[in-house]
Amino acid sequence: MAASQRVRTRVPAPHRSILPTVPGLPVGAAVLIAVACTFLGFLIDANGDSTDLTGTFAALYIVGCVAAVLTVRYRGLFTAMVLPPLLLFVAVPLAYKQLTGVAMTSITEVLLKLAVPLVERFPTMFLATALVLLIGGARIML
């Protein structure tokens, strides 16, 4: 049979990605995609002159979260759908600690130096979460 005449078979529902003929990734690999994209955004921002996370970080964070929910197996969909807030909750404070390099001694300093940037990233987290929930909800409905 020629390659153009082959018929693609459907992958069983628990193992498919968003495309019925493409197998999905295990949940760990999908989470790794989101983490890697977020880390890449941080690295790009860290190599610049700024001590702040820019739109590059936000864009790669959103792309990573959306890619995770698109490529994960159906069985791992819940994990991919709750990933955006959890990932940002860990990534932003760690990134700011690395970008600023300031040692923090009191709880007030921790709250001001790490929590404030996290709160400032709420619109980014909301956008990523909304996109992921819409895509995940559509996958569940279909």
State whether the Cα torsion 131-133-135-138 is positive or negative: negative
Q: Which of 94, 78, 5 is nearest to 41 (CA)?
A: 94
Q: Which residue has the higher pLDDT, 127 or 92?
A: 127
Mean pLDDT throughout 3-29?
79
pLDDT at 129 over 70: yes
- Residue 75 identity: R
pTM score, whole prediction = 0.86
Number of C-beta neighbours around residue 41 at 10 A: 24
Are 88 and 60 contacting, i.e. CB atoms less than 8 angstroms apart? no
pLDDT of residue 10: 83
Work out the average pLDDT over 10-18: 82
* Tens digit of each residue's pLDDT (9 = 90 or more) over 62-120: 999 999 999 999 889 999 999 999 999 999 888 888 877 766 677 787 777 778 888 89
Predicted pLDDT of residue 94: 85
